[in-house]
A and B are shown apart, each in its own frame.
Chain A
Amino acid sequence: MAGSNHRVIGKALRKVDAVAKVTGATRFADDLALPRMLYAKLLRSTQPHARILAIDVTAAARLPGVRAVLTGRDLPIPFGILPVSQDEHALCLDKVRFIGDPVAAVAATSEEIATAAAELIRVDYEPLRTFASAEEAVANAEPRIHDYGDRGNLHKIVDLEFGDVAEAFEHADLVREDLFFFEGNTHLPMEQHAALATYAPDGKLTLWSSTQTPHYVHRALANVLELPPARIRVIATPNGGGFGGKSDPFSHEIAVAKLAMVTGRPVKITLTREEVFYCHRGRHPTLMSIKTGVKRDGSITGMHFKSLLDGGAYGSYGVASTYYTGALQTVTYQVPRYRFQGARAFTNKAPCGPKRGHGTPQPRFALEVHVDKIAEQLGIDPAELRLNTLVPRDSLTANYLRVGSMGLGTCIEKVVQGSEWKKKFRKLPHGRGVGLACSSYISGAGLPIYWNNMPHSGVQLKCDRGGGVTVFCGSTEIGQGSDSILAYIVAEVLGIDPFHIAIVTADTELTPVDLGSYSSRVTLMSGNAALQAAERARELLALHAARRLEIPGDRVVFADGRVFDSRDPDTGMSFAEAVQHAEAAEGTVGTVGSYTPPMSPGKYRGAGVGPSPAYSYSACVAEVDVDPATGIVRVPTIWIAHDLGRAINAAAAIGQVEGSVYMGLGEALMEEMAYRGNRNVVHKIPSLLEYKSPTTLEMCDVVTYLIEDPDPNGPFGAKEVGQGPLLPVMPAVANAVYDAVGVRVDEVPITPEKVLKALRGKGKGEAGRVGPTRFPDIPWPEPVRVPPPWEA
């Protein structure tokens, strides 16, 4: 990048694992095999909600080749990703809560025998009333899907008020309220989940798994299997796509571990594609109400946001997801007073959790379409309105989020200019339109899942006398490039070739803890840990190199594999020689680094979700073609600008932006986790063919602008890029559809049926809108009232 004297940072280098990936050498979980390995299969519930009266495994256990059969009684200790939602069992104990809930596990000498044995297990169910939607769960407190939660079938209810919003509305020139619905969708990683466990005769358990969070799988195994954590080793294999779908500890991981303990043999499981749909943990279907007061110039006086999340059958990350639907509305446009009410319902569907953007794409969709409507009502260009109300850098929001660097204004200007927005908006012929939307996302969460004072990420760095450097970090490579980020940062600091650095990651036995690949936390947090470790190593090496060269320490330069005098570059030594001098003087050369985010200023109950060391910003313009005869929406081009603080690797960053746009386009137009409308609550389409996702034929062109507004909290100024650029795509497409044909589809996916319905309604003189029309009555608690910083 311009003006930078970095040799590695910012360059479009290969990823350190690129050659392994293009040669098929990368070993994913299902590529692993061990001698005497058994194959496991789970029997899953055929009932959406039922009591288990009896399970008969006799015939299965007798089948030749079967080595073990487990049921819920064998694994009675509950688990869950959040300490407040330990509501899952590896195998259901007394009841099942959705079709696909695991009930029994079999290990056999072949996958065929395991499958046949699972089919021989007889389960007697007593069906219970089922709940297919959040509205049904709100309306019916009984029967409860879980015997915990805030009320009836409501898992979590939140009410936060930052200043008197009702009064703020009185000072507004316009108060507008809109309702939106965001359908659930799923991650659809190309790799099916797989895990392999061994239990050595000395009582040590090893699990390889396609997981984004080996640290939390380690915790769950220790807890459920009642083993000392020190005797468990969890290795996250490179994930063949994660997107949040491999962030929970899963039944199949615990089941193969237990089966390995019971049989004394290695046990592997690979889920079928259908089972991946049941693991889910994807986007929560979310109904939203947003009410905003604005002045004539578009400035906001107050905002009241309500969300109702359909959580599915278990807690998962749902409490955090609920808070996230209300957290980030305040970090883009100035909202002086803000109220958030959110509720999450249990239903008899596959559990929802964190998908790319975790809980924030739904409210961002609502907010950005709502702002588009406000701008139209006020007669202000939506780009201008946004630019006029931006949150200032280095400021606090009404809900006490600390914004540091803030490049959204530049992002908006870039996409407005690049897309020729001013020539197109409200000026294109009928059927063609443009839409603008913006967004922001966290670069890691300010607080860990288990609240403690320990670092969120740790790195150990070893230098050997041959000049080799090994970086050990618990971070997990899921395709986003986390292994490469470690190498680039260490290479930059030590002046060595990143491809000479050995990277050891995601192994609870070898690597210091990193909390996992979620919340877009890895570049900032493990990057900062690596930076600290590398700087400490450089300091140590520089000390001894300076003595050797007889120059002051501040003249020692590390570059191009050498350590030399800045005043006389020929006077110096190789990096390996520098390590040798340090090793001779100090002994083995190794350093550590770690990272803990800054304390958040928010002190209220619920303040744990939303704070981040840095927020990324995105602006997006979508151009669409809408066929008024069929309702089909095509997207030729999306312009997107993303403020990522600093690109550690520009090409990899663009890859994250393009991938995010792709996934957002799928959510905007076609992806939905759909269930049959009757009480069976059967997933309609648990297959890659029927769950529509964009192919090469639907994918749009993407024009990407990387905006570098370095943040003091990021390594070299870097913020996140893996999730944020997804967020503005859905509302930009929705706003473009309105610009094209004058109808509002206030829900995603924007399917041809919905577009046609809105067009037909408009043709009959109706509103020309498809979307929700009411928000149910929720028994909200007394709000937690916190005056915003400027009223405190």
Chain B
Amino acid sequence: MLTTPFVVNGERVEVAFAPHKTLLEVLREDLGLTGTKHGCELGECGTCTVLLDGLPVLSCLVLGVACANRAIRTVEGMAQPGRLHPLQETFADLGAAQCGYCTPAFLLAAEALIVANPKPSRDDIKDALAGNLCRCTGYIKIYEAVELAAARMRGEAAEPAPETLYGRK
């Protein structure tokens, strides 16, 4: 067992765990942060995405010991008490989360995108999220939710298009 210090969602923690454990396992099993999911544990699906020093990583491919003293952001860190993150708001409002299993990963990958590129085009969003699989939504509500949240994070009073919510007439 090694004791490793992390900064998880802004909070400094020290965790003792077996050195072979991945960041995914440390988060879920040792820190109780089960918001981070897994779909393959082989680096194929993107479901375990978290932010490491602000950049998206596949937590199933990163050893926990490699994250000492680094900043880790998981879905649990996105909402403030009583206030969802703008991405969480738009994902909820547009139905960008269906089963919700891949959702935490998409939220974090999208947040990293918007931080780096506050006005992403549809193609920028597709590129940034190409490593995350979703089997429910067909991705479209996810694009629309990212676009809407990005606009609101830029301070625009954006609302979803009527056809997003009600279909084409």
* Bound: A688/B165 CA distance, A: 31
A-chain residues with CB within 8 Å of residue B40 when the two chains form the complex: 273, 687-688
**Taking the nearest CB of chain A, how far is it from the CB of B8, in angstroms?**
13
Does B136 lie within 8 Å of A241, measured CB to CB?
yes
Does B165 lie within 8 Å of A654, measured CB to CB?
yes
Which residue on chain B has the smallest CB distance to residue A273? B40
Does A697 lie within 8 Å of B126, measured CB to CB?
yes
The 8 Å CB contact of A191, one of B37, B139, B143, is B37
Does A15 lie within 8 Å of B166, measured CB to CB?
no
A-chain residues with CB within 8 Å of residue B132 when the two chains form the complex: 696
Which residue on chain B has the smallest CB distance to residue A638? B138
A-chain residues with CB within 8 Å of residue B78 when the two chains form the complex: 23
Does A659 lie within 8 Å of B136, measured CB to CB?
yes
A-B CB contacts (within 8 Å), total count: 189
B-chain residues with CB within 8 Å of residue A24 when the two chains form the complex: 33-36, 74-76, 103-104
Which residue on chain A has the smallest CB distance to residue B47? A190
Does A190 lie within 8 Å of B92, measured CB to CB?
no
What count of chain B residues pass the 8 Å CB interface test? 60
Q: A658 within 8 Å of B by Cβ?
A: yes
B-chain residues with CB within 8 Å of residue A653 when the two chains form the complex: 167
* Bound: A240/B74 CA distance, A: 19
Interface size for chain A: under 10, 10 to 19, 20 to 34, or 35 or more residues? 35 or more
* Bound: A239/B101 CA distance, A: 8
Does A479 lie within 8 Å of B100, measured CB to CB?
yes
**Taking the nearest CB of chain B, how far is it from the CB of A211, in angstroms?**
14
B-chain residues with CB within 8 Å of residue A238 when the two chains form the complex: 99-100
The 8 Å CB contact of A273, one of B42, B138, B143, is B42
B-chain residues with CB within 8 Å of residue A25 when the two chains form the complex: 35
Q: A655 within 8 Å of B by Cβ?
A: yes
The 8 Å CB contact of B101, one of A240, A480, A658, is A240
* Bound: A30/B25 CA distance, A: 12
Does A23 lie within 8 Å of B88, measured CB to CB?
yes
B-chain residues with CB within 8 Å of residue A478 when the two chains form the complex: 99
A-chain residues with CB within 8 Å of residue B100 when the two chains form the complex: 17, 20-22, 26, 238, 240, 479
Does A23 lie within 8 Å of B35, measured CB to CB?
yes
Binds B, one of A50-58, A342-350, A698-706: A698-706
Flag B90-104 by CB within 8 Å of A: 1 or 0 each: 011111011111111
Flag A233-265 by CB within 8 Å of B: 1 or 0 each: 000001111110000000000000000000000
B-chain residues with CB within 8 Å of residue A650 when the two chains form the complex: 165-167
Which residue on chain A has the smallest CB distance to residue B40? A273
Does A704 lie within 8 Å of B168, measured CB to CB?
yes
Q: B57 within 8 Å of A by Cβ?
A: no
* Bound: A702/B144 CA distance, A: 12
Residues 77-95 of B at the A interface (beta carbon under 8 Å)? 78-79, 84, 87-88, 91-95
Q: Which residues of B contact A (CB under 8 A)?
A: 28, 33-42, 44-45, 47, 74-76, 78-79, 84, 87-88, 91-95, 97-104, 107, 125-127, 129-141, 143, 163-169
Q: List 6 A-B contacts (CB under 8 A).
A: A651-B94, A653-B167, A654-B141, A687-B40, A688-B133, A696-B127
